[in-house]
């Protein structure tokens, strides 16, 4: 195994002994018949096909439906490790929410000289019409996905904050269902925290953020761009699991100062909209006059406090990678504490000294677009050819402010099941965090993404990555 010792492995220590969280699992695994496991492995795909858990790939013809490959070796996190992580996540998410409020009000952080004003001015996700407005319950980031990577026993880093519309939670749930169906005996041997009540927690959290005008049982709807969207399956799945309506823009309109959906018995007011559309598709009157996806006038209702939009419009500012590079300052500014979860070291190419360093070391660094996502438009230096690096260099020199750079991290590995047995592959972790006026709720687990190619560091499903079931063990 090439370079196995260079990377921290979730299952085994460098000397080959099993790490404690994997003790029960490995004992079980060693007693398994490999042929049987191989058969189960191929059955898993059939199971996903049957349930229809697919995503549509951007740029493919006729919205072809693909499966995200599933690996059946779980990623296991010990109870103690998870407790430390949750403290860091809670701190970070609370800071993000406070940051959003400040950005759209007094901008104390800019006044204090801790964040350059230009980062807001040049941020496409910044929405002037959110200024001076506080969403119901003061919550901006109702659902957050924090992307974490690990490089050592106690070294977790935040790679990205997803505060706009984080996706993938249906895979967290379906991966667990699939694992339980394939290996019920494992769950009798290993004390795994349940994730299956996520939809109930989500429904509760959204209801708690409902506007004051709503009744005892706030009406929640999931807003989807429609069946051709890459994550439609997830939208339908979450609506179904929450017992909420799944609406498209054309189902909604403003009636008597409320947002209402067209039901079979007429228009009915909606209290909370869990939107899975981008800001610019919310309201054609405010954002994009030629959009057919939005609801004309919804922003006026929002600003009058008669509907909750989750996440709040304008939260995309947090996903910007230039803002990300200031997260340590942001956490400290709003919580008065040192960040418990560190950022990955980040060079802002807008800064001339950093740019020089980045250009001199392109072959070793990972360079990302500040507004990019999904693994598109990035350079992974060590995995790129000379030609690719030179092409990227030209783009970087032309618009340095559009990029940030990070060291190529030694992401931890976790074994995947292959025809030849277990083999280590790099992984990351996205826990899902729910924010309501009274609490931050973190579901124990999350989505583990895994690079299926040997040596690859890119885990994005759009780039051929897969997923694993993620276990948090009970104490």
Partner 1 sequence: MLGRTANGLFWMFRYLERAENTARLLDAGLRMALTRDLVTAEEEWRSVIATSGQKASYEAKHASYTGMQAWNFMLREKGNPASILSMFGLVRQNARLARNAISGELWEAINENWLVVEEQLSKPVGENRVLDTVATIRRAGTLAHGAMSGSMLRDEGFHFARAGTFIERADSIARILDIKYYLLLPSLSYVGSSLDTGQWDTVLRSVSGDRAYRWLHAGQIDARGICEFLILDDRFPRSLAFCHSALRENLAALARLHGAEGESNALMRDADTRLNDLSIDEIFEQGLHQFLIDFTKSNSAIGEAIATDYRFLA
Binding residues for partner 1, rule: CB under 8 A, are 49-52, 227, 232, 236-237, 239-240, 244-248, 250-251, 261-266
Q: By C-alpha distance, which of 42, 319, 54, 272 is closest to 164?
A: 319
As given in the structure block, the two tokens for residue 193 are: 């925290």
Structure letter (DSSP) for residue 11: S
User: Judged by CB, which is closer to partner 1: 161, or 248?
Assistant: 248
Residues of 439-449 as b/e, b for ≥16 C-beta within 10 angstroms? ebbbbbbbbbb
User: Judged by CB, which is closer to partner 1: 65, or 108?
Assistant: 65
CA dist 423 and 419 (Å) reads 10
Where are the strands (E) in 211-257, listed by range?
A: 220-223, 245-247, 252-255
Beta carbon of residue 242, minimum distance to partner 1 (angstroms, whole number): 9
User: Judged by CB, which is closer to partner 1: 156, or 232?
Assistant: 232
CA dist 223 and 207 (Å) reads 15
CA dist 183 and 178 (Å) reads 8
Beta carbon of residue 328, minimum distance to partner 1 (angstroms, whole number): 41
Structure letter (DSSP) for residue 280: G
Beta carbon of residue 222, minimum distance to partner 1 (angstroms, whole number): 8
User: Judged by CB, which is closer to partner 1: 70, or 333?
Assistant: 70
Residues of 198-235 as b/e, b for ≥16 C-beta within 10 angstroms? bbebbbebbbbbbbeebeeebbbbbbbbeeebbbbbbb
Would you give the distance in Å from CA 318 to the centre of its chain?
12
Contact (Cβ atoms closer than 8 angstroms) between residue 149 and residue 344: yes
Beta carbon of residue 232, minimum distance to partner 1 (angstroms, whole number): 7
232-242 helix and 198-208 helix, angle to the nearest 10 degrees: 80
Beta carbon of residue 212, minimum distance to partner 1 (angstroms, whole number): 25
H or E element in which residue 323 lies: helix 321-324
Beta carbon of residue 251, minimum distance to partner 1 (angstroms, whole number): 5
User: Judged by CB, which is closer to partner 1: 44, or 451?
Assistant: 44
User: Judged by CB, which is closer to partner 1: 54, or 134?
Assistant: 54
Q: By C-alpha distance, which of 239, 87, 142 is closest to 438?
A: 142
Exposure of 15 in the CB half-sphere (CA atoms within 13 A): 2
Beta carbon of residue 19, minimum distance to partner 1 (angstroms, whole number): 37
User: Judged by CB, which is closer to partner 1: 237, or 392?
Assistant: 237
Beta carbon of residue 447, minimum distance to partner 1 (angstroms, whole number): 21
User: Judged by CB, which is closer to partner 1: 244, or 367?
Assistant: 244
The structure tokens 């980045």 sit at 358
Looking at the chain, how many residues does it have? Answer: 475
Beta carbon of residue 299, minimum distance to partner 1 (angstroms, whole number): 20
User: Judged by CB, which is closer to partner 1: 169, or 450?
Assistant: 169
User: Judged by CB, which is closer to partner 1: 126, or 267?
Assistant: 267
Beta carbon of residue 391, minimum distance to partner 1 (angstroms, whole number): 40
Where are the strands (E) in 294-418, listed by range?
A: 308-310, 347-348, 365-369, 379-380, 403-407, 413-418
């Amino acid at each position: 195994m090439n370079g196995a010792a260079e990377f921290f492995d979730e299952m085994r220590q460098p000397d080959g002994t099993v790490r404690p969280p994997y003790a029960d699992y490995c004992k079980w695994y060693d007693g398994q018949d490999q042929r049987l496991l191989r058969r189960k492995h191929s059955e898993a795909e059939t199971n996903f096909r049957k349930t229809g858990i697919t995503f549509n790939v951007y740029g493919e013809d006729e919205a072809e439906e693909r499966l995200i490959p599933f690996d059946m070796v779980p990623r296991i996190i010990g109870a103690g490790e998870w407790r430390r992580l949750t403290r860091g996540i809670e701190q970070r998410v609370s800071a993000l929410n406070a940051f959003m409020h400040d950005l759209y009000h007094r901008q104390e952080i800019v006044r204090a000289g801790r964040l350059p004003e230009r980062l807001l001015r040049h941020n496409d996700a910044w929405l002037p019409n959110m200024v001076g407005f506080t969403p119901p319950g003061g919550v901006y980031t109702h659902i957050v996905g924090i992307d974490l990577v690990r490089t050592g026993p106690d070294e977790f880093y935040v790679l990205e904050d997803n505060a706009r519309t984080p996706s993938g939670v249906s895979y967290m749930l379906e991966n667990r269902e699939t694992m339980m169906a394939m290996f019920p005996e494992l769950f009798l041997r290993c004390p795994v925290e349940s994730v299956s009540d996520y939809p109930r927690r989500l429904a509760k959290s959204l209801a708690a953020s409902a506007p004051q005008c709503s009744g005892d049982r706030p009406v929640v709807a999931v807003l989807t761009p429609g069946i051709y969207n890459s994550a439609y399956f997830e939208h339908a799945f979450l609506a179904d699991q929450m017992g909420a309506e799944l609406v498209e823009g054309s189902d909604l309109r403003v009636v008597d100062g409320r947002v209402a959906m067209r039901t079979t018995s007429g228009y009915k007011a909606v209290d909370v909209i869990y939107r899975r559309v981008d800001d610019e598709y919310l309201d054609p009157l405010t954002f994009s006059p030629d959009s057919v996806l939005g609801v004309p006038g919804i922003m006026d209702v929002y600003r009058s406090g008669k509907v909750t939009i989750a996440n709040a419009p304008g939260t995309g500012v947090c996903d910007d990678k230039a803002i990300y590079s200031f997260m340590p300052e942001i956490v400290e500014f709003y919580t008065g504490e040192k960040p418990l979860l560190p950022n990955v070291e980040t060079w802002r190419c807008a800064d001339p000294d950093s740019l020089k360093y980045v250009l001199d070391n392109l072959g070793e660094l990972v360079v990302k677009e500040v507004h990019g996502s999904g693994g598109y438009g990035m350079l992974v230096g060590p995995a790129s050819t000379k030609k690719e690096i030179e092409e990227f260099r030209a783009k970087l020199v032309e618009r340095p402010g559009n990029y940030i750079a990070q060291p190529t991290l030694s992401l931890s590995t976790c074994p995947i099941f292959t025809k030849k047995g277990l083999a280590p592959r790099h992984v990351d972790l996205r826990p899902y965090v729910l924010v309501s006026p009274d609490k931050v709720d973190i579901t124990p687990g999350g989505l583990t993404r895994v690079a299926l190619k040997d040596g690859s560091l890119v885990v994005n499903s759009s780039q051929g990555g897969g997923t694993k079931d993620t276990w948090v063990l009970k104490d």
